[in-house]
Structure 1
Amino acid sequence: MEQIRKWIAENPTIYSIVIYVLLAICVLILIQLLRRFLRKQVTDTTARYKSQKGIEIIGYIVLIFLTVSYFTGNIRDFTLAVGLFTAGIAITLQELVLSIAGSLYIFIVKVYQPGDRIEINGIKGDVIDVDSIYTTMMEIGQWVSSDNYSGRIVKLSNAFVFKGPVYNYSKDFPFIWDEFNLPFTYNSDIELAKSIVIKIASHVLSEFTAKSKSQWKAVVNKYYIEDALLDPTLAISLTDNWIEFNLRYIVDYKKRRATKHVLFNEIHKEVKQSNGKVSLASTTLELVKIPEIKIDMNNS
């Protein structure tokens, strides 16, 4: 025992570092134990996720205060230590500091949160986790058409919130505008075609239109933005081959592909039941005149 006290007296710096490391390990172990306890006890997914993140953040704060209080004895030393520590971190770990700052910015400003669909740094997907350094996303698109999952999980540095635009599909207004074109022949009953398209669009999209109208009012009140038409709209243009209908409508951001399928299917059924009064057009080639070919057999 006397030898240990003697060694501590001769090596106070090493002893302090060892004690600090042991305390830090105890804090980290406690954090993991609490996270495991919450994972087993809390059944609700959202509450479990938020509680685990809260324990993680509190643990980091405790570690910071433990470090500062352990290695500094007064306010003067505290400010000096913080200044030196900050300068060193800013120089050597710029990207890490920017990522941590990005996570605080995401949390405070609520740029996005788990469950949101976003596009950032050219990557589109659903946010499944946000920690102190990375945003984890389930990727959408790439080699898969429309808004379907590709199956890849992407980890993206939180620093990217400062480096470019962040497109959020679901915050404040979880609806998007979509459109598609329908070609009708010039022989079609255009008024009947218009009534078919508008009737089907109004029926299929009625739920989205009603919900979007109530939420759009909140968006208009919150932001400096003009009011918009949320009902399905139809624009007609003439081309060389057909009359083109452009249907524009609003839809839930997660149901864009499925809704377009239903619209196409229902419109096609109605067109087939019109007894030829309305018909969809396709690209055709019309031969006006076949050139005459003369063969002189006498010169052969």
Structure 2
Amino acid sequence: MELLNTIRDWFIEHPTALNIVKYLIWLFCILIVLQFIKKQLKKNVAHTPARYKSQKIIEIVGYVLVFLMTISYFTGNIKDFTLAIGLLTAGITITLQELILSLAGSVFIFFVKVYKPGDRIEINGIKGDVIDIDSLYTTMMEIGQWVTSDNYSGRIVKLSNAFVFKGPVYNYSQDFPFIWDEFNLPIRYGSDIELAKTIVSKIASETLSEFVAASIAKWKEVVDKYYIENAQVDPSIAIKMTDNWIEFNLRYIVDYKKRRLTKHTLNELIGKAFEKTNGKVVLASATFEIVQIPTVHVKKEIENFDKKD
């Protein structure tokens, strides 16, 4: 009892020491609580990425609490405490600005519905199908690069959510899951142009009828939602005369996931139909016409040499 009184009197005479002891006790309690929470997360959260991120967040919260407690115990002036908090906030903002932007980007993506898993997008020059969105990253199955057309390259790309604030996001499937595509058909001069137009129009209408019917209703929703004019969704043909052939440009609407297959089908059917016209419609190839061949004069001079014995 006498020892306790002595210790109490000593702490009364030395308030700084008392603050240090209190500080250490609180620090110990915070560390114990943090370790307990981390163990519970490890035990109850089966998803590894979620468990890892949760533990990191708990660690950051613990560091902030320790810092604030340190300031409050060893800074008696509220003005200094406010200054310290301001400096801490500025430091965190500068150091973790990419992390903060990523977190803000995930919130923005969720509430504004920029894109969702399953959408095909292009962002920061990368095109692919969104397969996952978490608090920091968007995960995509890449399309293109060394692979032609809209085929998967096989690479999985993780992209920071902060990029939604840094440039345009192209969404192939939001609101209107169709795109316009086109290709050119070179028709040889002398072919039956009207027959060629009939063949191309008939094949395009029959092949694309499902896409056209589905896109009409979707496009109406887009027109009602946005300030945009109505558009032609039926296949259209534009003809242009060139130096080598008559160029048919076929423009049509197609499901964004079936662009390559549809183009293959149209080319195959049109090619077979042209072959059945018995030469009335012929696909052209690059040709060169020589207008005039210049005359070349060759002069041969024969010199006689006297032979001397």
**TM-score category (smaller protein):** 0.7 to 0.9
CA drift at 1:299: 3.3
Match of 2:41, SS state, is helix
2:16 aligned with 1:13: no
Distance 1:85 1:296 in 2: 95
2:107 paired residue among 90, 104, 107: 104
Is 1:202 equivalent to 2:205 in the alignment? Answer: yes
d(CA) in 1 for partners of 2:244, 2:22: 95
CA distance in 2, matches of 1:116, 1:174: 9
- The correspondence for 2:173, drawn from 158, 170, 175, is 170
| 1:203-282 paired onto structure 2 within 5 Å | 203-282=206-285
User: Which residue, out of 35, 39, 54, partners 1:22?
Assistant: 35
Q: Give 1:110 deviation, angstroms.
A: 1.0
Q: Give the structure 2 partner of residue 45 of structure 1.
A: none
**How many residues are aligned here?**
271
Report the structure number with the largest CA radius of gyration.
2
Distance in 1 separating the partners of 2:208 and 2:122: 25
Q: Measured at CA, do residues 236 and 82 of structure 1 come closer, stay the same or move farther in structure 2, by a change above 3 Å?
A: farther
Name the CA shift for 1:82/1:168 in 2 (closer, same or farther; >3 Å): farther
Alignment match of 1:135 (pick from 122, 133, 138): 138
Deviation at 1:221, TM superposition (A): 0.9
Q: How far did 1:31 drift?
A: 5.2
Conserved 8 A contact 1:31-1:56: no
* SS at structure 2 position matched to 1:231: coil
Question: Secondary structure in 2 aligned to 1:105?
Answer: helix
Q: Aligned residues: percent identity?
A: 61
Contact 1:236 1:245 (C-alpha < 8 Å) held by counterparts = yes
Shift, 1:293, TM fit: 4.3
CA-CA distance at 1:32 after TM superposition = 2.1
Q: Partner amino acid for 1:207?
A: E
- Counterparts of 1:201 and 1:104, CA distance in 2: 43
**Where in structure 1 are there 5+ consecutive unaligned residues?**
1-7, 37-51
Give the counterpart letter for 1:12 in structure 2: I
Letter of the 2:140 counterpart: M
Q: Structure 1: how far apart are the matches of 2:218 and 2:209?
A: 15
CA–CA distance in 2 between the matches of 1:272 and 1:56? 63
Distance 1:286 1:88 in 2: 73
**Match for 1:32 among 45, 62, 68?**
45
Q: Cα deviation per residue 1:226-267 (whole Å; 9 max; x = unaligned)? A: 111000011111111211111100111111111111110000
Q: Distance in 1 between matches of 2:28 and 2:58?
A: 19
Q: Which amino acid aligns with 2:227?
A: Y
1:193 to 192, 196, 211: 196
Q: Under a length normalisation based on structure 2, what TM-score does the superposition of the two structures give? A: 0.77
Runs of 4+ in 1 over 3 A off after TM superposition: 70-73, 80-88, 287-300
Q: For 2:169 and 2:32, how far apart are their aligned partners in 1?
A: 44
Q: 2:93 aligns with which of 90, 94, 98?
A: 90
> 2: distance between equivalents of 1:85 and 1:298?
98
**Using the alignment, how far apart are the partners of 1:207 and 1:258 within structure 2?**
14
| Equivalent residues of 2:212, 2:253 under 8 A apart | yes
Task: Give SS of 2:148's match.
Answer: coil
Aligned to 1:48: none
User: What is the letter of the counterpart of residue 134 of structure 1?
Assistant: Y
Q: Distance in 2 between matches of 1:84 and 1:207?
A: 62
Query: Structure 2 CA distance, aligned partners of 1:250 and 1:145?
Result: 20
Look up the equivalent residue of 2:26 and give its one-letter code: T
* CA RMSD in angstroms, aligned pairs only: 3.3
Q: For residues 147-166 of structure 1, what are the structure 2 equivalents within 5 Å?
A: 147-166=150-169
Give 1:122's match in structure 2, choosing from 106, 122, 125. 125
Distance in 1 (CA, whole Å) between partners of 2:144 and 2:30 is 50
Letter in 2 for 1:266: L
How far does residue 222 in structure 1 lie from its aligned partner after superposition?
Answer: 0.9
Q: TM-score, normalised by structure 1?
A: 0.79
